[in-house]
A and B are shown apart, each in its own frame.
Chain A
Amino acid sequence: MSALLISGSGPALAIPVLAQLPAEIQFTAPSFDYRALAPMLVVFGAALLGVLVEAFVPRRSRFVVQVVLTTVALAGALAAVVLQAATSDPVQTAGVLQSSGSVLGAVVVDRVTLFLQGTILALSILACLTMAERTVDEGGPFTPQASAVPGSPAEVAARRAGLLQSEVFPLLLFSVGGMMLFPASGDLLTMFIALEVLSLPLYLLAGMARRRRLLSQEASLKYFLLGAFSSAFFLYGTAMLYGFAGTVRLDGIAGAVTGVGGVAVLQKDGLLLLGVTMVLVGLLFKIGAAPFHLWTPDVYQGAPTPVTGFMAACTKVAAFGALLRFLYVAAYGIRWDWMPMMWGVAILTVIVGSVIAIVQTDVKRMLAYSSIAHAGFLLIGVLAMDRSGITGVLFYLAAYGFSTIGAFALVTIVRDSSEEGVAGGEATHLSQWAGLGRRHPVTAGVFTLFLLAFAGIPLTSGFMGKFAVFSAAVANGAWVLALVGVLASAVAAFFYIRVIVLMYFTEPTGSEAVVEAPGIGTTFAIMLSAVITLILGLAPSLLLDSATAASVFLP
């Protein structure tokens, strides 16, 4: 009996609390395809295990245990993704390569998902290795206590007290898990949860820089507030789309747009238009497209540099995956309504990113504006609205991701020259990089390679990525976008090459930056990124073929 009797002066009131389910509602247990979910389960399980490690493993061995656990979990999940992509059977219906099923439609693991998850995992392994760097700077990039000055007795005391920030590794794992779920979401609520799971650890990680604490805290707070704002937009849009379609599932929304049974009855509705717009605002914020890009430079500059690399590479991959799925699966039927808006966003993004980057004097801010410009180039590929566009975007994301991780990892080893034997903070002001090419030719050479890849110079991965998205846009009639993209690339090439000129042909004027010898993890991350940047430029078909095979969404 679910009634509560309240006795009082008046007649007894029967207030139904905890109303039971109506009898006609039958509960059926959802089916799980554990094979398809295995990579995500591994990452989330390892994240939980990481929290327990923080709780129970002695302080001295905590850091090593965390690094090993994180790397092994990410590598294991990557192996599971690769295995799944290799063994899944192509189903011949209309050329759709179906890989595997779902959880009540909440998670869709198709070839696009597998490609993106593999990219995210590979990138996050490198990010984890750069976060574990302790050779350059004994204290590492993360603060042991919010108010401790680097190298001060207070900090040493905090480190002795075991306040070492090895929590960054479970946070990294949670974030990676959210990123893997984000492009795999089959409905908008799952997508929202994935968005939060990937974002919340990033807000924390952004505030953990050991040096320049105020900048880092400012970055964290800005990112959190603006991120919460954009999440609200996303959720509001979800509510409107639910009001329109009666479902939050992407295929259900697509069905409601095109009409029942595939009859082309376009139901244009205020709820639909507003809902699509608001969900797009939430997604465009995450990819850092103009006019929702304003957080990017501040957060990229303030966050600890290894975290910035992770954020710039992996978040972009995950968010573009979700954007692609939303636009190509749910909102495809009304593309003529949102395409003008997205054209405007794409054009504005490439122009803002390329032009404002020219006047930056800080390496991290410059790379942040460069990432905005790249988001614009990727949007041009998205707007091709066909398979070649998806292929181009997938390839571009992988190519850009590796160059970005490498470039930010390299920024972590270029330091202020301070007193003997103690590494200074990162020398992020561009004037400090003058003459670096003569003093440290290898470092400057590798950074030059990354910059050339960002600029899209042939024989680097960046050229192939840009070629793929622009040619897809031209083939589908969006030649105006491609033209704007090429012109913006030319502008962007100017400031990349300016940095190269600065490193090789300019005499240092003020304080010079020095390169600290990195540990094995960072060295591996930089070198692998550089090798992949070169290989994808010389032999793009290695990845382009699997990107082409992966480029069909399973509705």
Chain B
Amino acid sequence: MGDGVNPYVPILVMMAFAAAFAVISVGAGAFVGPRRYNRTKLDAYECGIQPSPHAVGGGRFPVKYYLVAMLFIIFDIESVFLIPFAVSFDRMGLFALAEMVMFIGTVFVAYAYVWRRGGLEWD
């Protein structure tokens, strides 16, 4: 930032640009965009659940999907951390191995909890 330039000016300009961008993008879509309504537009996107006719029982989801999703995230995150470790574990020596075993241990605590409390049983 050069001398004499108030540092708040660029911030205000950027905020103005951001606001203008948001307003123009949304507004332009409303004004310029074509409106061709048809049956397909009312469908659920890709694999979503059909909104009508109304589902039996108020359209409740089984909580099992949620549990599976949570389990997926647990192991997903684990592998995200395991891959960089696997690439360079030879340089980091015993320290990194010990840390990784501790990390996997904590993930398995969660796994043991899910297993014992019936999170893996579908029925």
Instruction: Show the binding face of A for B, using Cβ within 8 Å.
Output: 2, 18, 20-21, 27, 29, 48, 51-52, 54-56, 267-270, 273-274
Contacts and interface: CB of A to CB of B under 8 A. Distances in A.
Nearest to A268: B7
Contact of A273 (B11, B92, B112): B11
Which of B14, B88, B95, B109 has its CB near the most chain A CB atoms (within 10 A)? B109
Given A56-B112, A270-B11, A273-B11, 8 more contacts: A21-B87, A21-B88, A27-B92, A51-B113, A55-B112, A267-B1, A268-B7, A273-B7
A269 B113 contact: no
B1 A268 contact: yes
A273 B83 contact: no
A156 B122 CA distance: 24
Contact of B10 (A51, A54, A270): A270
A268 B95 CA distance: 41
A55 B11 contact: no
State the main secondary structure of chain B at its contact with A.
helix
B110 interface: yes
Interface string B99-119: 000000010011011011100
Contacts of A18: 83, 87
Contacts of A20: 87-88
A51 B91 contact: no
B53 interface: no
B62 interface: no
Interface of B: 1, 7-8, 10-11, 14, 83, 87-88, 91-93, 95-96, 106, 109-110, 112-113, 115-117
Contacts of A268: 1, 7
Contact of B11 (A27, A29, A267, A274): A274
Top 8 closest pairs, chain A to chain B, by CB: A55-B116, A29-B95, A268-B7, A55-B113, A55-B112, A270-B10, A27-B92, A270-B11
A21 B11 CA distance: 38
B79 to A, nearest CB: 13
B113 A27 contact: no
Contacts of A270: 1, 7, 10-11, 14
Nearest to B92: A27
Given A55-B116, A56-B116, A27 B109 contact: no
A2 B87 CA distance: 9
B112 to A, nearest CB: 5
B34 to A, nearest CB: 34
A493 B93 CA distance: 62
A315 B28 CA distance: 44
A208 to B, nearest CB: 16
Contacts of B110: 51
B71 to A, nearest CB: 14
A273 B14 CA distance: 13
A62 to B, nearest CB: 11
A358 to B, nearest CB: 36
Contacts of A273: 7-8, 11
Contacts of A54: 113, 116-117
Contacts of B117: 54-55
A54 B91 CA distance: 38
Given A18-B83, A20-B87, A55-B113, A269 B1 contact: yes
Contacts of B112: 51-52, 55-56
A273 B8 CA distance: 8
14 contacts: A27-B91, A29-B96, A48-B109, A54-B113, A55-B112, A55-B113, A55-B116, A267-B1, A268-B1, A269-B7, A270-B1, A270-B11, A273-B8, A274-B11
Nearest to B63: A146
A20 to B, nearest CB: 6
B88 A51 contact: no
